[in-house]
Amino acid sequence: MRGIGRRARNDGAGSRVQARRRYGAARNKTRAGREPDQRAEEPTTFTDGFPRPRAVFARICGGHVSLCALANRLHDMTQPIPVPDTPVQSRTRSSVVYVAVFAASLLLSLFAYLQRDIINSDGILYVKVARAFVDGGFADAFAVFNWPFFGMLIGFTHQLTLLSYESSAYLLNALFIAIAVTAFVACYERTGREGTRPWLAGALILSLPIINDYRDFIVRDFGYLAFLFLALWFFLRFSQQHRMRDALLWQLALGLAAAFRIEALVFALVPTLYYVGSHPPEMSRRLLHSNAVFLGAVVLGVVVYLLRGATGDVGANLFTLQQWLSYASPAKIWSGIDREAATLHQQLQYLSSHRDAVLVLSSGLLALTTFKLLSNAVIPFCLTAMYGSHKRWLTGNRGTRITWIFVGLAVAAILALVASRFFLSSRYTIAAALLLSLITFAYVDVGLKRLADGGRKRLLLIAWAVIAIMFLDGVISTGASKRVIRTGSEQALTIADPQATWLCNEPRIRFYTDERCELVGRTRLLNLLGGKRADDTPAVLLIWVPRKDGELQEAIEGNPLVEVIESSANRRGDKLGVYRLPAGSN
């Protein structure tokens, strides 16, 4: 009986142990169903055939759950733990990228300056403004051009550095381009798209043709871009931290951008568009902080206008401001389109009605704007972004929403300009193209990373080859140089008769002869070459003859009325000639 009782107790103890084991296994299985353990999917051996430590522990432990859990914990402890960057390390890495991008941009500008051609037409205007500002002050600068801040800055730099006006302008442009591309990279990093790399954004922005093609131009657009992207960066920081300092700096930077190009004022709508839909007390407070300087400037402007406008003297020509405000008028835009559509309807007989002419004109302007914008933002980058957006490579955040608001306002400014002037230069789309690039570069970044991770080395090589070709195409100039205009004009100052009347047909000849020659139109020039002169005094003609201008070439070659003093041509046959019209040649 004792033996039977002992066996019964032992059977009961064994049943309880087995029950505990079954309960523990069921509990672990339930937990595994709720929280799948990815480590269970790992193979039990390495690639060389040796068993993994976890598999060995599992075999040793058998069904003992607690020992297996301990084995897994010990195995995990042997793996290296990734150490995230500290804030100091992250800021240091960003600073290195910013300095590298800034320095690389300056080097590219120096290279463009050393191989520069001749001054562009807009550059002549800004140099005139600078001279007027240095000689006569603020009022004289406004008399030359009604939005003269960039020209005045050139004059101030000329006085500060003792460089020539032209070199001072190139120096300012180099600094503004460097600031613009560095601020672009800072905004790219501030948007915080997951998986993106700021250094790659720096490499891409330095490769954009729309930047490199204009490095040797004297234009105010780069000052506008520099302060526009600084304004964007401050507003991004204000939207995240809500500090009054960032709100003030955002408004100050945008005001400086507007000093270069008046259309920057359209971005003053960003806070309103961004904070619409926020909690009312929060919205009103942040709108007030982000618009306080703007509101103060408007009030001050109204006061100045009321105090001095009554006398008819406000101290400056505000035609540009009035003109751009008129561009924002839908009625004026529609009347302009309606007027031009009527002219188009008369010229194109196959248009059946005035409505068809309006449709053709409107769709043509929209197509032109879209093509210019996408071309300057690089079409392959835009297509990559469209594909990545469809595949949901990235998720949106606060920064991308603000960027899209900036893009929309920039495009709206372009459309208002095109609909009012019926003309669009590629330079007018730079701001919108770069703002759009903040979006597209993130998808290009992820796309390149996916190619690298997927082992598609051939496609990755092709992608980088396209970027390299794009960079070289923008940096290396292969067109025919017009430097003969500069050298020929400067040489004419030493060999031509200083007492004669100097005439020329190209504004840049007039610029490089220190405005000694009088600019004449084509009709008057042909009359002079044909012997039709109003006076009988000697004249010196400095004539730029393009290789495709057969009429002008025919009027000069073999003409007995002109004497050739000097002639020089570029490698494609464009020629600058210095000729003398003797007295009594009519």
Tell me the per-residue pLDDT of 534-558, one tens digit each, with 9 for 90 and over.
666 778 889 998 888 888 888 888 7
How confident is the model over 346-366, as pLDDT tens digits? 887 777 788 888 888 889 889
Q: Mean pLDDT, to the nearest integer, of 560-574?
A: 85
CB 372 within 8 A of CB 380: no
What's the gap between Cα 130 and its chain centre? 26
Residue 250: pLDDT above 60?
yes
Lowest mean pLDDT among 61-70, 178-187, 233-242: 61-70
Give the pLDDT of residue 321.
61
CB 61 within 8 A of CB 50: no
Give the pLDDT of residue 178.
97
Residue 257: pLDDT above 90?
yes
Q: What span, in angstroms and rounded, lies between the C-alpha atoms of 149 and 258?
A: 10
Residue 451: pLDDT above 50?
yes
* Other Cβ atoms within 10 Å of 500 Cβ, number: 16
Residue 51: pLDDT above 50?
no
CB 169 within 8 A of CB 126: yes
Residue 10: pLDDT above 50?
no
Q: What span, in angstroms and rounded, lies between the C-alpha atoms of 580 and 251?
A: 57
Q: Mean pLDDT, to the nearest integer, of 101-111?
A: 95
Question: Which residues face 542 on adjacent strands?
Answer: 504, 578
Measured at the CA of 310, the angle between CA 307 and CA 312, to 5 degrees, comes to: 115
Q: Mean pLDDT, to the nearest integer, of 115-123?
A: 87
Question: Which residues face 142 on adjacent strands?
Answer: none
CB 260 within 8 A of CB 223: yes
**Widest CA span of the chain, in angstroms?**
154
Q: What span, in angstroms and rounded, lies between the C-alpha atoms of 553 and 581?
A: 16
Q: Is the pTM of this model over 0.85?
A: no
**Mean of the per-residue pLDDT values of the chain:** 81
| Number of helical H runs and strand E runs in the chain | 25, 5
Question: Which residues face 576 on adjacent strands?
Answer: 544, 568
Give the pLDDT of residue 196.
76
Residue 581: pLDDT above 90?
no
Task: Name 354's Cβ contacts closer than 8 Å, sequence gap at least 6.
Answer: 341, 342, 345
Give the pLDDT of residue 327.
65
